[in-house]
């Protein structure tokens, strides 16, 4: 990262420890599971704790989640590190190249200590990114924003001045026009305050937007982070949940084990960055699952919650339905649990411009809930910003955009 290597650097990699008791006929075996992540080498552990380790477990993913989630165009690099330790080599360069060819990924050997090929690695990655040096900006505009699909949503759902809209979060990230999307919703909220309700999603976060694109978009368009900071301040004021006719709870993610009654949601201090744990975090990050109660979420934040938890929560609070977003649904919406007490509503068609899903609007009337399905705006009707390395009139360097 900083083009230097120093043996005195403090380690920044972590350690995890778990225990598991196994009952084997007449014996009880207590296993201690250590994931040292290199900490022993950095002498941040007392060596005697793990010197007598008897088993090494290598875990690998049998699926292809990276390409399934990001598409075949995602850049994957197989990197062999510590190339300076030639006398300790166990994997040959030929073996690495052969494996990379089998996986259809890039390959390079590096040494962080000697500085060998580190810059070359990042240069190769940069040159392979879509849009760099004129490469891979395709006519299907997979990387254009879903701002146009928001306009289509209003066409399908009805004129704002005649319709009450509740948006359940995630207005930014993953597109060129996140800023325009959020700005339009704010303008509509200002003009029709009783018609537009904006809930907060897990992407309305300072930390998340610095990873998934919104921060970079603001930097590109304005040449500084001020607009991003202003938007993040607005995020803190967004509502966490909404109730329709006292019977439908709308929330971005899901339930929390710390919240039994709706009144507890009203006491949450929302004027802050989304915390890493607790009820606020859970409302943004939790997901329903085909279980009964609670389970640890693979997201690393929030919980997985099941049918029994949902049924009890709805009964205690007099609810008929929980409506939430947060998870891609190919059909646009999906009911869950035996009594259809929860529904996931997804309103971003052809998500990430490669998933091929339809989108939906849940319409609540006196006769019940109904769904309007719509497709993504055709590619030829989308504006694709050109790449421009010259400064724009706002001091940024990102080329065309509009507000």
Which residues have a catalytic role annotated? 203
Q: Position of tokens 């306009």? A: 151
Quick check: 202 and 208 in contact, CB under 8 A?
yes
3-class SS of residue 97: helix
Tell me the backbone φ, ψ of residue 137, rounded to 5 degrees: -90, 105
Q: Tokens representing 3?
A: 């083009």
- Among positive and negative, which fits the CA dihedral 71, 75, 81, 83? positive
DSSP-assigned beta bridge partners for residue 287:
304
DSSP state of 239: B
Quick check: 358 and 371 in contact, CB under 8 A?
no
DSSP-assigned beta bridge partners for residue 239:
199
d(CA 270, CA 45): 39
Q: Position of tokens 């055709």? A: 378
| Residues contacting residue 201 through CB under 8 Å, at least 6 positions apart | 168, 169, 170, 171, 252, 253, 284, 325, 326
Q: Tokens representing 207?
A: 């930390």
- Among positive and negative, which fits the CA dihedral 371, 183, 217, 376? positive
d(CA 224, CA 286): 33
Quick check: 193 and 160 in contact, CB under 8 A?
no
């Amino acid at each position: 990262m900083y083009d230097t290597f120093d043996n005195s650097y403090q380690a920044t990699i972590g350690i995890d420890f778990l225990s598991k008791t196994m009952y084997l006929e007449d014996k009880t075996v207590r296993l201690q599971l250590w994931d040292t992540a290199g900490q022993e080498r950095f002498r941040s552990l007392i060596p005697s704790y793990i010197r007598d380790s008897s088993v090494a477990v290598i875990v690998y993913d049998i699926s292809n989640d990276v390409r399934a989630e990001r598409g075949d165009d995602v850049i994957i690099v197989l990197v062999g590190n510590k190339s300076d330790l030639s006398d300790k080599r166990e994997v040959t360069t030929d073996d690495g190249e052969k494996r990379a060819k089998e996986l259809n990924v890039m390959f390079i050997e590096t040494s962080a200590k000697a500085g060998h090929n580190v810059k070359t690695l990042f240069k190769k990655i940069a040159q392979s990114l879509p849009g760099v040096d004129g490469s891979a900006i395709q006519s299907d505009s997979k990387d254009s924003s879903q701002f146009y699909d928001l306009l289509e949503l209003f066409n399908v759902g009805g004129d704002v001045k005649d319709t009450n809209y509740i948006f359940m979060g995630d207005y930014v990230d993953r597109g060129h026009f996140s800023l325009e999307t959020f700005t339009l919703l704010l303008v509509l909220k200002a003009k029709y305050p009783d018609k537009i309700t904006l809930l907060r999603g897990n992407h309305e976060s300072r930390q998340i937007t610095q990873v998934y694109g919104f921060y970079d978009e603001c930097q590109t368009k304005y040449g500084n982070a001020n607009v991003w900071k202003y938007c993040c301040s607005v995020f803190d004021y967004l509502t966490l949940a909404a109730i329709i006719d006292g019977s439908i709870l709308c929330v971005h993610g899901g339930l929390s084990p710390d919240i039994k009654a709706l009144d507890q949601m009203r006491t949450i201090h929302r004027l802050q960055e989304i915390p890493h744990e607790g009820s606020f975090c859970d409302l943004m990050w939790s997901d329903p699952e085909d279980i009964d109660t609670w389970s640890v979420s693979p997201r690393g934040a929030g919980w997985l919650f099941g049918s029994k938890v949902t049924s009890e929560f709805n009964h205690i609070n007099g609810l008929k339905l929980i409506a939430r977003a947060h998870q891609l649904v190919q059909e646009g919406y999906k009911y869950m649990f035996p009594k259809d007490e929860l529904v996931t509503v997804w309103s971003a068609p052809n998500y990430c411009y490669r998933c091929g899903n339809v989108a939906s609007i849940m319409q609540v009337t006196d006769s019940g809930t109904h769904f309007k399905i719509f497709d993504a705006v055709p590619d030829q009707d989308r504006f694709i910003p050109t790449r421009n390395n010259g400064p724009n009139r706002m001091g940024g360097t990102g080329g065309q955009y509009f507000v």
